[in-house]
Amino acid sequence: MDTSVKTKATQTTVAGARLAADRLWPIRYKPLPDELLSSWLVRLAHGHGLKVQTFCNAIFGERLQIWNRDIDRIAPPWLLNELSLRTGTPYSVAADTTLRTYEGVLYRKFRSAGPLHWILVLQMYHRKRLGFGLQFCPRCLADDETPYFRKRWRVALLTVCSVHKTMLLDRCPNCAAAVAAHRIDFHRFDPVENTPVSFCHQCNFDMRTASAAEPIFYDGSSFALLLAAGDRIDGDAGGEWALDRFAVLHQLCRTMTARYKHVGLRNFVLGQIGVPDIALSQGHISFEMRPVAERHHLLLLTAWLMADLEPRLRAAWQRRAVRYSVLTKDFPERPDWYGRIVAKFENWRDRLQ
């Protein structure tokens, strides 16, 4: 092995040993506003001049693996405790970097495995991400003094940047790879502290330079409704948006792609607002696994229904575009107000009156 390489490896090992022994780290970055845990951890590693895997092995040991799971969703307490202790960050602030903070806002009860309403799926395979579960706004990254990834970019409901009102991206526009900031230093030999998380791990494209497209919308009131929902997620008032409305919106988004011969809700809405459909991914795909363009399209159609739900849903039911059984399928904890609306469609004979 080259002497310079040996020297660098030795220095890295010594630096890692010192970090493991010190109570407070020399670099004690705090989470930036709305920053994801994974983004914060990458910045801490690079701030110490270490690759992410080297840093994590030095601090947590090789037995406690981090990157083979969705740590933004499944953040083990020992990881949050360690980051809190070593950076002088209150535990509550460290915990707020995880997706569990959306419990009671977007979904009723957190669970570590299985589908979680409105949380994008990473599809982890070892340390790779096969799914496009992390979105980004190139303009936000470009505006950042230190680029970082936000929690709200893991929310499937959000397809438009709340700041710049441009479409979010869910993959590298240069090579179509999923965003995986923890892998950007795998094949780099330059100092990692100079490597912003905005670079693509696969092709080295700087995502700050990506084009930001203007969002399409089919109806002004439904688009405003979605923007208000986004405000609620960002912590603003959000109008009438609460957990029950998010639950109904999710149920109707599912119904839009239901694969039953007697369900044509999506075609009904398309006909009502006079827009063409787009090609959707085939198969039993959850809303949280769909590309951003598909989610945006389905959300606009569903928001049109939600803007005046009872009469528009009744019209769909009268046109035989949807049935009561589908509107309530796999929705046991439906809100009372929604239950009262769809109960009117339980008896198909009422359509004749």
- Cα gap 231→228, rounded to integer Å: 5
Q: Mean pLDDT, the chain, as a whole number?
A: 88
Residue ranges of alpha helices (H) inside 167-286 are 220-233, 243-256, 265-273
Q: What is the mean pLDDT of residues 124-134?
A: 77
Whole-model pTM: value is: 0.90
User: pLDDT tens digits for 63-104?
Assistant: 778 888 899 999 999 999 999 999 999 999 999 999 999 999
Residue for token digits 């044509």? 264
Answer yes or no: is pLDDT of 151 > 90. Answer: yes
47 pLDDT band, cuts 50/70/90, is very high
Contact between 35 and 151 (Cβ < 8 Å)? yes
Answer yes or no: is pLDDT of 12 > 50. Answer: no
Answer yes or no: is pLDDT of 154 > 50. Answer: yes
117: CB partners within 8 A, 6+ apart: 106, 107, 246, 247, 250, 288
